[in-house]
Copies of this chain bind each other. A is one copy, B any other.
């Protein structure tokens, strides 16, 4: 009989218990042993739960129980989770987690402890909810040099953008709807400002390139400034707007950024709508791949947690090789200003059309975009690809005759 414990009984934690109990018979067949959830740690009371007798408020009940082999940490955040995870791994227990913040911030350290102790620290649920992405990247695509990863990594913002595109809602109305449906929290900052996606792209990049990428080094722009006009112009030019986290190797460094992007309708990522996530991985052998599914939610995230629990229980006497090196190079992530990109620009100018020749002189072959009812003081265009600082310099030259309202990079 194997014993496991779960730390946290919120959305993901309760989903983990539910899915685990539902599919217990097949899970036990896969593991080759009987298994039970022995303890659930939460500071709240759950007197009506059928598992009420398993609850504890004392972490030591789990840490000191030698029967418990694997612990699912689904409490989130860094405060308790960091301390608990460290102590569990040090004590020789495997830990599986959905905690992207913790993995993105302390992953290298925690993975090193797991390796030293010959236990597992698994985190399939930390990126893309239930979508298999960590193991595919780490194992199935291990024969590739990864050329590029670009993903819609946050379901809340994708829901909002989908509403803005399909139903011409403005940002605030769409956000309110997301909150009413329970997709966005009362304080939506981590989602709409891109911090959630930032953590996730750090995890994917660390795994793909073998060195820890820290969130504070990754430039991040959210979706709060996207206007209904931008959606219309993008649509007319054959693009959707998506919040994209991306990472790419540049020599022995990487470029990594989270920002809204115009995504061509020919790219499958532009069809990833609503609360779904989609992650595109390009490798030198495999070419382009896409992983798609529900990037959040109770049971989808629990699916990844339970998958990791099964894997850790199957490998109870050895560590699965997964991880990356720590990294004290503050310049490992190159400045986004030095990366080549095309951008979409929407600007205001007294007589906008009169600027076209000046703009074309500066940028070369520009694509000017129209929309129904475009006011005469508005202009929108897509530039060719330049290093971003150069684009900014060119726009600066025109700063007296034109004020830039929106600048969105292309994927």
Contact = CB atoms under 8 A, between A and B. Distances in A.
Interface in A130-144: 130-132, 135-136, 139-144
A165 B32 CA distance: 49
A142 B30 contact: yes
B310 A285 contact: no
Question: In which size bucket is the chain A interface?
Answer: 35 or more
Contact of A310 (B143, B302, B311): B143
Given A143-B307, A271-B268, A300 B321 contact: no
Contacts of A303: 140-141, 143-144, 283, 285-286
B311 A142 contact: yes
Contacts of A143: 19-20, 23, 27, 302-303, 305-307, 309-310
A268 B112 CA distance: 39
Copies of this subunit? 2
Nearest to A299: B285
Contact of A23 (B144, B271, B287, B302): B144
A335 B280 CA distance: 38
A289 B285 contact: no
Contacts of A271: 268, 271
A287 B292 contact: no
Name the residue among A26, A272, A293, A306 with the largest chain B CB count within 10 angstroms.
A293
A209 to B, nearest CB: 10
A290 interface: yes
10 contacts: A19-B144, A19-B284, A27-B142, A136-B140, A140-B304, A143-B309, A285-B306, A286-B304, A288-B294, A290-B293
A267 to B, nearest CB: 10
B142 A310 contact: yes
A283 B22 CA distance: 12
A289 B286 contact: no
A314 interface: yes
B131 A289 contact: yes
A145 interface: yes
A287 B176 CA distance: 25
A193 interface: no
A303 B282 CA distance: 12
A287 B293 CA distance: 8
Name the residue among A124, A271, A289, A302 with the largest chain B CB count within 10 angstroms.
A289
A148 to B, nearest CB: 14
Contacts of A27: 142-143
Given A136-B135, A142-B27, A287 B306 contact: no
A20 B15 CA distance: 41
A363 interface: no
Given A136-B140, A284-B299, 18 more contacts: A23-B284, A32-B321, A130-B283, A132-B136, A132-B141, A139-B307, A139-B310, A140-B307, A141-B303, A142-B306, A142-B310, A143-B303, A143-B305, A268-B272, A271-B271, A290-B291, A291-B292, A314-B321
A300 B141 CA distance: 10
Contacts of A284: 19, 22-23, 299
Interface string A29-43: 110100000000000
A360 to B, nearest CB: 33
Interface string A364-376: 0000000000000
A222 to B, nearest CB: 26
A136 to B, nearest CB: 4
Contacts of A30: 142, 321
A296 to B, nearest CB: 11
Closest 9 CB pairs of A and B: A143-B306, A132-B140, A285-B303, A132-B136, A130-B286, A289-B293, A286-B303, A290-B292, A285-B299
Name the residue among A19, A307, A310 with the largest chain B CB count within 10 angstroms.
A307
A268 B292 contact: yes
